[in-house]
Each structure stands twice: as structure tokens, then as C-alpha cells.
Amino acid sequence: MPKIIFLPHEELCPDGAVVEAEQGESVLNVALKNDIGIEHACEKVCACTTCHVIIREGFDSIEESDELEDDMLDKAWGLEPESRLGCQAIVEDEDLVVEIPKYTVNMVSENH
């Protein structure tokens, strides 16, 4: 069973975490199932960038992003070549090392 190593994030998982993932699960669902509260304002339908993550290791093992995800990622804070939306990054058979960016762009919460 593949593992996801979440690097330390000041608010969401200060000590980092190593969790088991099922093949076919999204990085976001694995995080949420393990009490790592990554934002997901659009309810996991690839319509925002709040679940933006950076795949530090294992990037080539996950399916490539599609055009819709790429368009969304263009709006993400701190975009990097290994950036993905957590709701779209599906775990395959390799371990992943995931960094949760320090900031997120949440149009819903920023307008209040």
C-alpha cells in the first residue's frame, strides 16, 4: 500500500505525517481522512485552487493533469512545476512526498 508523506505545515500538520493511501484515492481525500484539513472550497470538483499541493517526490507516478486542472493551477499561489490540485492528484502505486503551500487563494473566504 503506498504511503503519502506530508511535509510539516505550520497550521495543518506541524510535525508532518506519514499515512497509508489506497491506490485510486485522491491526495486530498487521504489528507482529510487523516485529519489534515486541507481547504477544498469547491467540494473537490476542480473549480478552485484551495487544495493546491506540491508533489515533491513521486510526481511522475501520478496521472498527468488535464486542461481544466492546468487552467485552475494557473491561479494558484506559489505555483511550481510539481503543483497539483489535491482533489485531482490520484495515488497510484508509488509513495508520494507532498508539501502543502503556506498560502491558498480562497475567493469565498477572502470576500467576507
CA trace torsion 23, 25, 26, 32 (10° rounding): -130
| Tens of pLDDT, residue by residue, the chain (112 residues) | 999 999 999 999 999 999 999 999 999 999 999 999 999 999 999 999 999 999 999 999 999 999 999 999 999 989 999 999 999 999 999 999 999 998 776 654 443 3
Q: Are 73 and 87 in contact (CB under 8 A)?
A: no
Amino acid at 60: D
- In the chain the domains, ranked by start, together with CATH numbers, are 3-110 (3.10.20.30)
CA distance 39 to 112: 16
Nearest Cα neighbor of 97 from 67, 51, 55, 47 is 55
